[in-house]
Amino acid sequence: MALNAAVAVPATAAATAEARWSNLKITVVDTNLRDGVEAGYSLSTASMLVSSSSLQPDFEYAGGEGFRADGVTWSESLHHTYSLPTASGGEISAEGGAGAGDIREVPGYVKAGISGEGTGGAVIWRYLTIDMKKNTRLDITLDVEVTLQRDGTQPGASLFAEAVLGNVPTAAPGRSLTATLGPEENFQSLSRTLSFSVGSGPGFSSTTFVTYARASVSAGVPPVPGVPEPSTYALLAGGLGLLGWRARGRRSTAS
């Protein structure tokens, strides 16, 4: 399922950083063939959100909107765009989005662009709660790509992009793909299939994991740090709170 290719950072951006994910795959492994229980799982809850991150100099944190879906179908496309003029007469832009459809297949992306001086970025999160039968192991993979580029008019820009697949809240033992563009480089593109495994053991189990991607650009100011901003952790905590509330509601209804 292809995301709308017409969506793009404004053409004024002299430097851009982008991160994408696609093709989430979950392989089921039965770790005890003699227990009489077939291994399996269900995706019981999903939520996704996208926001700008650290747009400066005068733009405070702007939270994105949260979207939720039951089962494995994402009901609508998600897209947000932010932009801000810079003091030097340029522009900082940030955008992110994801397609609609099977939650395991829809791609997601973030992109940040800059011309002039300033700092900006974007982040997109996707949470999935998996309910596993006992003695089940899930091998999970995700295709990711990061691309950094600039033209000759923005030689001092610092560019950063990252895509992550892992457990919450620490994204460990997840895997990540990260790229930073050095001062002598104008282009870098990397792609990889990330993978990790999670198991239920002898009992039924529920776990939440997250895929996220972020991109940031900086010029004429200190580089954007290679760690999430406090507001990013706030997004994570908020998403986990929503998942917990929904799970409690399901248990109360069942009883």
pLDDT tens-place values along the chain, 255 residues long: 334 333 344 446 789 999 999 999 999 999 998 888 889 888 866 777 887 765 544 433 333 344 555 567 777 788 888 888 877 788 888 888 888 888 888 889 999 998 888 888 888 888 888 888 889 999 999 999 999 998 877 777 889 999 988 876 555 556 899 999 877 789 999 999 999 888 887 878 888 888 889 998 888 755 444 444 445 545 555 555 555 555 555 445 444
Contacts of 90 (CB under 8 A, 6+ apart): 12, 14, 114, 115, 116, 117, 118
Q: What is the pLDDT of residue 89?
A: 82
Residue 3 maps to a domain: no
Is the alpha carbon torsion for 111, 216, 238, 196 positive or negative?
positive
CA atoms of 174 and 137, how far apart (whole Å): 15
Q: With CA atoms as reference, report the closest residue to 41 among 243, 201, 205.
A: 205
Establish if 209 belongs to a structural domain.
yes
Query: What is the tally of structural domains in the chain?
Result: 1
Residues 6+ apart with CB under 8 A from 247: 44, 45, 129, 206
Does residue 28 form part of some domain? yes
DSSP 223: P
Asked if residue 6 belongs to a domain, the reply is no
Question: Which pLDDT score, from 0 to 100, does residue 236 have?
Answer: 53
- Decide if 1 is inside a domain: no
What integer pLDDT is reported at residue 4 of this predicted model?
A: 37
Asked whether residue 116 is domain-assigned, the answer is yes
Determine, yes or no, domain membership for 7: no
Is 10 within a domain? Answer: no
Domain ranges, residue 118: 15-254
Number of C-beta neighbours around residue 178 at 10 A: 14
Q: Under 8 Å CB-to-CB from 1, ≥6 apart: which residues?
A: 99, 101, 102, 105, 106, 107
